[in-house]
Amino acid sequence: MIASIPFFNHFSKSTKAYKLPSHFTLSQDAPHPLCILAAEELQDHLQNQQEWQHNFGLADGKGMVIGKMFGVLVVQNKKHEIGYLTAFSGKLAGSNSHIKFVPPIFDLLSEGSFLNKGMEELTAMTNEIKFLKDLSPEASKEAIHKLKAQRKQHSIALQNEIFSHYHFLNQAGEEKSLLAIFTEAGYKNPPAGAGECAAPKLLQYAFQNELKPLALAEFWWGLSPKSATWKHKYFYLPCKEKCEPILAHMLNKAD
């Protein structure tokens, strides 16, 4: 008996009338019809769920308005059943983990995480610099300069430690680190937030659980206070800066 896989969603409607893609598809302008169906079911969940609160700017809400990119991945399990996975980019309602959504590649927000300690140390350095500036900028010039250099080095080390925890599978089951992926793609360093987008999360979970990816689509949900590029319910391709090198590895059958 094949065990059920968490986060594998069965479609609420029959999919018998839908033709399966002959190869993996990833499209912005014309997502596969099964992706559209999965996106509609996810959007219905977003409108009606009562498990968490996040201000997307679509109704009265508290806190900063933050629209969010969501992704759906249509998959086939070992029983040849068709279903879909869902994910969000970054964090949602202050957390990386929510019912219905696949887990992050690495949970930076877990209790006792090195990130929390590292951020506390950075904050302490910043506060000390501010204190010295208020006390006597000229007399404390050397100490301030030294502290700023220490803060910069600590920030770089913390970012590199974050990157070291991200490893991605490809279709052949081969794993590659985030640092290796971006180095081979010609980057000096990965951009901040690389690996936190929806598409890599979805593919990673599929490969980890022997689910065959069939089609993927991402859509924006909510208002975007920073850019007019993102529009509510519109479909978009995964970003080039953070996702393109990762997906090139993940969708490669063998590196």
- The whole-number pLDDT of residue 213 equals 97
- The whole-number pLDDT of residue 204 equals 97
- The whole-number pLDDT of residue 127 equals 92
- The whole-number pLDDT of residue 26 equals 86
- The whole-number pLDDT of residue 225 equals 65
CB 9 within 8 A of CB 100: yes
* Residues of the chain falling short of pLDDT 70: 1-3, 60-62, 109-112, 225-228, 254-255
SS (H, E, C) 148-193: HHHHHHHHHHHHHHHHHCCEEECCCCCEEEHHHHHHHCCCCCCCCC
Ordered by start, the domain boundaries in the chain are: 9-104+169-250, 114-160
Considering the entire predicted model, what is its pTM? 0.86
- The whole-number pLDDT of residue 224 equals 80
Region label for 177, one of left (φ > 0), alpha (ψ between -120 and 50) or beta (otherwise) = beta
- The whole-number pLDDT of residue 3 equals 63
- The whole-number pLDDT of residue 2 equals 56
